[in-house]
Chains A and B, each alone.
Chain A
Amino acid sequence: QKEVEQDPGPLSVPEGAIVSLNCTYSNSAFQYFMWYRQYSRKGPELLMYTYSSGNKEDGRFTAQVDKSSKYISLFIRDSQPSDSATYLCAMSATSGGSNYKLTFGKGTLLTVNP
């Protein structure tokens, strides 16, 4: 079993739709959870960062973490064509000299159609 599982999609939605992206994980040591957006042939860009369980909202984006289920989600409200990209979840355990190494999911390719 991989440490982080993410459905690669592709996911295609109409403009204005609510998008739900998810990842599951198996390592209970993960405490830091991030979502990155990666446009084609570009490096990842940090969207959301959450520590431990709970919700975090930033504009049209909401990140949820459920540590009891080892499940994290990213919701995008009022999706726009410019949101079309690959979304990667990433996780990290506490330091202890680990340099906060990131473990990524495969990424979900999202297309928002005008």
Chain B
Amino acid sequence: GAVVSQHPSRVICKSGTSVKIECRSLDFQATTMFWYRQFPKQSLMLMATSNEGSKATYEQGVEKDKFLINHASLTLSTLTVTSAHPEDSSFYICSARLTGAPRPDTQYFGPGTRLTVL
């Protein structure tokens, strides 16, 4: 149980285009989902917290107009990187928190999406 999927697993796009990444909790409901970014040999950095049915909360320094987050259902959150640039190339990982289990260890991570912007 507690499986989180991400799609696509890898995407290559041209500079200036937009890319959408999906995060799904497959066998549980997640009121809260988190989006992280991980550069090579760096830590996971939280970008935003997404709550179903409400606006996402962005971390300091993350542009909300560039990284659009939609959490339309209890099993799906999407991250859209708008007008992508080469510096946006990174590994994007989502996690989903089991609804009704508000503990730090109930975040389940997806397999990540490798974004390369040419």
Interface residues of A (CB under 8 A from B): 4, 6, 8, 32, 34, 36, 41-46, 49, 88, 90, 92, 95, 99-107
Contacts and interface: CB of A to CB of B under 8 A. Distances in A.
A106 B93 CA distance: 15
Nearest to B94: A43
A101 B43 contact: no
Interface in B70-118: 91, 93, 95, 97, 102-105, 107-112, 114
Contacts, number: 63
Contacts of A43: 4, 6, 93, 95, 109-112
A99 B32 contact: yes
Interface of B: 4, 6, 32, 34, 41-46, 49, 91, 93, 95, 97, 102-105, 107-112, 114
A24 B97 CA distance: 26
Contacts of A101: 34, 46, 49
A42 B104 CA distance: 20
A15 to B, nearest CB: 25
Q: Determine which residue in B43, B49, B103 has the highest number of CB atoms from chain A within 10 A of its CB, and name it.
A: B43
Contacts of A88: 43-44
Contact of B109 (A4, A45, A99, A103): A45
Contacts of B6: 43
Given A43-B4, A44-B93, A102-B46, A49 B41 contact: no
